[in-house]
Structure 1
Amino acid sequence: MEYRNLVASGLKVPVLSFGTGTFGGQGTLFSAWGRSGAEEARRLVDICLEAGVNLFDSADVYSSGASEEILGAAIKGRRDKVLVSTKMSLPMGEGPFDAGSSRHRLVTSVEAALRRLGTDYIDLLQLHAFDAFTPVDEVLSTLDTLMRAGKLRYVGVSNFSGWHLMKSLAVAERHGWPRHVAHQVYYSLLGRDYEWELMPLACDQGVGALVWSPLGWGRLTGKIRRGQPLPADSRLHATAQFGPPVDEQRLYAIVDVLDAIAAETGRTVPQIAIAWLLSRPTVSSVIIGARDETQLRDNLGAVGWSLAPAQIKRLDEVSAVMPPYPYYPYRVQEGFARLNPPTV
């Protein structure tokens, strides 16, 4: 297993990490992701550790806290061998204190997460969404307090826009508060929006990307084919509404190239899609999820080898999209491009 720094931090993380959204199986979305209980979860964690994957990502909203509880049980007795990442800010209920990143919410949510995880510290806490109702100063000063208390070791964000993240970094620098070292983002061959603004920002500011849904909400598994119905067991039947819309013709074109490269390399379609992500700037770790051992072992096969430059180029070209204004002039107009060379 290869390990990379979270760019501007000293924390080394494996290039593949394990997402525990499949633990618990409560609610419409998370039951479609997976239903792993404590015994199966411990087996999946065992397989990860054997492969060198020691970063496990969760969130309080995953199965209403059940994911954190099951993860805590799965790592019991070996806490010192793992890195635990979790997220909070999204609503956990209908009450006024059940959502957001206020001081009250963060303090109570961190304490609740520590209890569910069975630990006294969180290696990486990420704000799951930007809270427009709470001043950034309040959020960051609270994170600083929690870090000084030894309850957090690193902080990051997830699903922030460029200005959300940059404002947070600027405020942190001004006050000497902890900087966000990670940004958990959606990024895949099907969804390359991360490259327009967030990737250049990450390069400039030293923020490592933790990639979620690297297989495009399950569309790049190799099971979806042109002219064939959606497989009966596909989770897209229940989860497609939660993700971005997808141009089907573009999807099929990408899958065609993935199929061809899989044949050339003897690898699987998911392994090719994940390997492409690992070649991208700022990507520190790709979060893989698995409903069973077979799926997990296949995803683990994405490391230990590399795509050839020509293969990467073919994937780049077939998945390329024209970015919106104000980004597209820097891609297509020579004068703009001379002043701002592309990140990728």
Structure 2
Amino acid sequence: MIVVEHRYLGHSGLKVSEIIFGNWLTLDGQIAEDTQAACVRAALDAGITTFDTADIYSRGHAEEVLGRALAGIRRESLVIATKVCLPTGPGPNDRGLSRKHIMESCHASLRRLRTDYVDLYQAHRFDGNTPLEETIRAFADLVRQGKALHIGVSEWTAAQIEKGQELARPLGVPLVSNQPQYSMLWRVIEPEVVPMCERLGLSQIVFSPVAQGVLTGKYLPGREAPAGSRADDAQGSRFVSRYMSDTVLERVQRLRPIAEEAGLTMAQLAVAWVLRNPNVAAAIIGASRPEQVAENAAVGGRRLDDSIMKRIDEVLDELVDRDPAKTATMFAVMPAWRR
């Protein structure tokens, strides 16, 4: 029986499932809606209670699909998170963290998700063009209006998180989470972001724990990417390409016996690895098939011992990126609106 455990989010009383179902690329128009709905049902069947999305995913379509898939499920049993910042239209105010965009985007997300409130509303990126005071006050007003219960950020640097928390706490709406990229290969949050969040009471909700699929072991050195895989897709390949060297792929294959000895699949090993970090409340998984959801959810409650963690470090060693200056650099350029 799959047991997905729940963890407190930051210093709040909100519990999230340690495995979160996310619908970035997998629900971003890449698979049929009935398959998407089946993946959501598989997540619910596996004990996953937390779902993450964003207004920019497939230009709002992903939120609509998630809203339809969750229709009829007792709302109080779910934790729904979405995000705001990246472009949702062609206009000059259709992006960023201005009060106007935050308010309008929140209302649009609620309509698409078919709910009166979201449990977690997150700043998808930092907006250096808007006064942070304006951003935090807008989030605080949404909390007071009952349209968001908690607020968080995504891919903010340690300094940005510190300043944001400094402004949020006096308003009674402290930041409770940060959503960064984090995996065995990408550890840029460890030197600065994690220590700052531990001090300020935020948890990490990490995305891409399997490094865009590379840590599943499906990509083999010297071979073309499997047809239909993320590396074979025009959109997905933009994010996975930096891991596709034979050097990286050969090292990843050396993780296979470690996973087998632990009784885990490669994907499960990668998810269990990020959950070993005490500041990580949850790992976001995506799936294009219901069985993928069940596989990743099955890692719930599994904890890697120190010897396994050490062996993983010995295999990957110099390939690991720990440079905190690279926080959000993969997504630093705000994408243009696509009709």
Q: TM-score, normalised by structure 1?
A: 0.87
Instruction: For residues 286-314 of structure 1, give each alpha carbon's deviation from its aligned partner in whole angstroms, at most 9, with x where no partner exists.
Output: 00100011221221122233323211111
- What residue is the counterpart of 2:203 in the other structure? 208
- What residue is the counterpart of 1:94 in the other structure? 90
Q: 1:147 to 1:262 in 2, by over 3 A?
A: same
Query: Aligned partners of 1:15, 1:250: CA distance in 2, in Å?
Result: 31
Helix, strand or coil at the partner of 2:216: coil
Q: CA deviation at 1:266?
A: 2.9
Conserved 8 A contact 1:22-1:291: no
Q: 1:324 to 1:110 in 2, by over 3 A?
A: closer
Instruction: For residues 218-266 of structure 1, give each alpha carbon's deviation from its aligned partner in whole angstroms, at most 9, with x where no partner exists.
Output: 2112211223222222211322324583373552354133201122133
- What residue is the counterpart of 2:316 in the other structure? 319
2:187 to 177, 192, 198: 192
Letter in 2 for 1:215: V
Aligned residues: 318
- Structure 2 unaligned runs (5+)? 326-339
Query: Aligned partners of 2:321, 2:179: CA distance in 1, in Å?
Result: 23
Question: After the TM superposition, which residues 176-191 of structure 1 pair with which residues of structure 2 at under 5 Å, given as runs?
Answer: 176-191=171-186
- What residue is the counterpart of 2:156 in the other structure? 160
Helix, strand or coil at the partner of 2:214: coil
Q: 1:295 to 1:247 in 2, by over 3 A?
A: closer
Q: CA deviation at 1:20?
A: 1.5
Helix, strand or coil at the partner of 1:141: helix
2:58 to 43, 58, 63: 63
Conserved 8 A contact 1:23-1:36: no
Conserved 8 A contact 1:36-1:291: no
RMSD: 2.1
Conserved 8 A contact 1:278-1:286: yes
* Percent of aligned positions that are identical: 38
Conserved 8 A contact 1:22-1:36: no
Helix, strand or coil at the partner of 1:126: strand
1:9 aligns with 2:9: no
- Structure 1 unaligned runs (5+)? 327-344
- What residue is the counterpart of 1:18 in the other structure? 21
Q: 1:244 to 1:283 in 2, by over 3 A?
A: farther
- What residue is the counterpart of 1:109 in the other structure? 105
Query: Aligned partners of 2:321, 2:146: CA distance in 1, in Å?
Result: 45
Q: 1:199 to 1:36 in 2, by over 3 A?
A: farther
Which structure has more relative contact order (CA 8 Å, sep 6+)? It is 2
Larger Rg: 1
- What residue is the counterpart of 1:337 in the other structure? none
Q: 1:62 to 1:176 in 2, by over 3 A?
A: same
1:255 to 241, 252, 255: 252
Q: TM-score, normalised by structure 2?
A: 0.88
